[in-house]
Amino acid sequence: MSAEIIDGKKLAITFREQVAQEVAQFKEQSQIVPHLTAILVGEDPASAVYVRNKQRACEKAGIQSTLKRLPAETTQDKLHKLVQELNADQSVHGILVQLPLPKHIDEVAILDVVNPLKDVDAFHPENVGLIVQGRPRYLPCTPYGIQQMILSTEMETAGKHAVILGRSEIVGKPMAMLLIQRGLGADATVTICHSRTQNLKEIVQSADIIIAAIGKPEFVTADMVKPGAVVIDVGINRVNEKLVGDVAFDSVKEIASAITPVPGGVGPMTIAMLLKNTLTAARIL
């Protein structure tokens, strides 16, 4: 049996249309135009594409979008001051510092400066803390998008075993928090695997939900997947000019009950959730 393909692109369009409607209503009621400012430091071509896609999506939803582009040699102090200026700018509701930053910049120190109310990525420790306590202000865009994709399958998640591959601050850790959350979360039992995990294959084989976010092309193979598992692929790896995920899609789709493609899976949902968060920011500021 071949898995249901979870069409992130299509689902993202639904969310984006909904946000566009809510933005229009919000503008009419408040005379305020939600405004996202993205900061892009350096010349990383993938980051430039991501930021351009985020900007386009904002514009289509009626959200104002500004890009602050800085050279790779920008100093910590200069970037710090720019974030402070955006914090103080009342016309800016959301601030997004595109990661990764160049190596000479202390990334954590920069993210700490972002006003938590404008932190639409939910990377600030105050927002991370609120998520851990189960009372989020913002949800980080990728885990938020994945949560919506899992909800779209209408699978029962309570008590199920979710295995996350990767312990990143952007995906792995916050994803675990959302999956264990009761009520609006998934009520799942969660394991996070990483580069030092022993018996990784056996752990993944026991998963009802697999979230692959380790950045290794086609790492999750069919022999690691329990029949009927739901497989979410966060990987975006460039192999011979082709984009491939962290999951060997063609073989795993024959075993899973639902699977996300790459591209057209998690990526578009991440952007849709950013739009939702930016509207939330305009509402709460």
Q: Is 142 in the site for ligand GUN (CB under 6 A)?
A: yes
Query: Does 99 interact with ligand GUN (rule: CB under 6 A)?
Result: yes
Position 141 contacts ligand GUN (CB under 6 A):
yes
Q: How far apart are CA 261 and CA 251, in angstroms?
A: 12
**Nearest approach, Cβ of residue 100 and ligand GUN (Å):** 7
Catalytic machinery residues? 54, 98, 121
Phi, psi of 190 (to 5 degrees): -120, 135
Residues listed for the chain: 285
Of these, 98, 147, 257, 277, which contacts ligand GUN (CB under 6 A)?
98
Of 10-18, 70-78, 91-99, 179-187, the segment contacting ligand GUN by CB under 6 A is 91-99
- The rounded distance, in Å, linking the Cα atoms of 54 and 111 is 19
Residue 188's closest CA among 156, 223, 213, 232? 156
Answer yes or no: is 203 a known binding residue: no
User: Is 56 annotated among the ligand-binding residues?
Assistant: no
Single out the segment in contact with ligand GUN by CB under 6 A; choices: 90-98, 150-158, 172-180, 185-193. 90-98
Task: Tell me which of 121, 208, 218, 246 binds ligand GUN, using CB under 6 A.
Answer: 121
CA 149 from centroid of its chain's CA atoms: 12
Closest to ligand GUN by CB, 160 or 268: 268
Question: Which has the closest alpha carbon to 215: 192, 234, 239, 240?
Answer: 234
Query: Residue 172: what are its φ and ψ, rounded to 5°?
Result: -55, -55
The token pair that represents 103 in the structure block? 């190596």
Options 82, 96, 122, 244; binder of ligand GUN; rule CB under 6 A: 96
User: Stretches 83-91, 96-104, 190-198, 208-216: which one binds ligand GUN (CB under 6 A)?
Assistant: 96-104
Which amino acid would we find at residue 42? G
List 79, 86, 97, 281, residue binding ligand GUN (CB under 6 A): 97
DSSP string over 146-185: HHHHHHHTT---TT-EEEEE---TTTHHHHHHHHH-STTS
Please say which residue, 142 or 157, places its beta carbon nearer to ligand GUN.
142
Integer Cα distance of 279 and 269 in angstroms: 16
Q: Would you give the binding string for ligand GUN spanning residues 10-29, x where CB under 6 A is met? A: --------------------
Q: Which amino acid is at 154?
A: E
By CB under 6 A, what part of segment 217-276 binds ligand GUN?
270
Binding site residue list for NADP(+)? 166-168, 236
For ligand GUN, the binding residues (CB under 6 A) are 96-99, 121, 141-142, 170, 270
